[in-house]
Amino acid sequence: MINKFSVKSEFDSKILLHACCAPCALSPVPEFAAAGLAFDAFFYNPNIYDAAEHDKRLAEVKKIAGIFGFELFIRNDEYSKFLEFVSGLENEPEGAARCAKCIEMRLAAAFEFASAGGYKYVATTLSTSPHKNVKLINSLGAALSEKHGGLVKLIEFDFKKNDGYKNSVDYCKKYSIYRQTYCGCHFSKR
């Protein structure tokens, strides 16, 4: 697992960074930029409830794209698509099977976009959150890489390490970025 970003020679093509939200993106984005890593961001989060919250989070990711100068690609799906994907898991506790399906849904979309766009690498800002299981994220990424014939790989970053989470909080203050109080879906809001 990579925890330092000064290894740009290790990546021979641009990275597609799945951005779950601006606060989580503010751990890797400044470091990627400072290290000269070539990356674009991909915002796909149909799990965010409600539409106003989704739009607020997207606006904040657009804001940091303007600050740090990276290209942002957006794919929107209705919340109902997320609910359909996690159907039967509504009563699961936070962090269990429903959350794993949610992460799988978003990573799968990132891998599809990366594959279609010629990216070799995907990373996700989901690992910034202290509430997310990095081993789960990495295992889902490995399965998706296999599904794509190994042509697209998840870079196993743990963005919360080395003060990554603390740095994201500091950057949010510096740039007046909205920090949400729940992961995204109405199940996590309760």
The pLDDT of residue 67: 97
How long, in residues, is the chain?
A: 190
Residue 186 neighbours by CB distance under 10 Å: 15
Per-residue pLDDT tens listing for the chain (190 residues): 444 554 445 677 899 999 999 999 999 999 999 888 999 999 999 999 999 999 999 999 999 999 999 999 999 999 999 999 999 999 999 889 999 999 999 999 999 999 999 999 999 999 999 889 999 999 999 999 999 999 999 999 899 999 999 999 999 999 999 999 999 999 998 6
3 state DSSP class of 98: helix
CA 106 vs CA 68, 109, 139, 188: distances in Å: 23, 5, 14, 16
Q: How far is CA 11 from CA 6, 122, 157, 160, in A?
A: 11, 11, 13, 21
Cβ-Cβ contacts under 8 Å for 8 (sequence gap 6 or more)? 35, 36, 37
The pLDDT score that the predictor gives to residue 146 is 96
The per-residue pLDDT for 4 is 53
What is the Cα–Cα distance from 3 to 121, expressed in whole angstroms?
Answer: 16
Q: Residue 11: its pLDDT value, please?
A: 74
End-to-end CA distance of the chain: 33
All domains of the chain in start order, with CATH = 8-189 (3.40.50.620)
Q: What is the pLDDT of residue 64?
A: 98
- Give the C-alpha separation, 187 to 183, whole Å: 9
Per-residue pLDDT at 6: 45
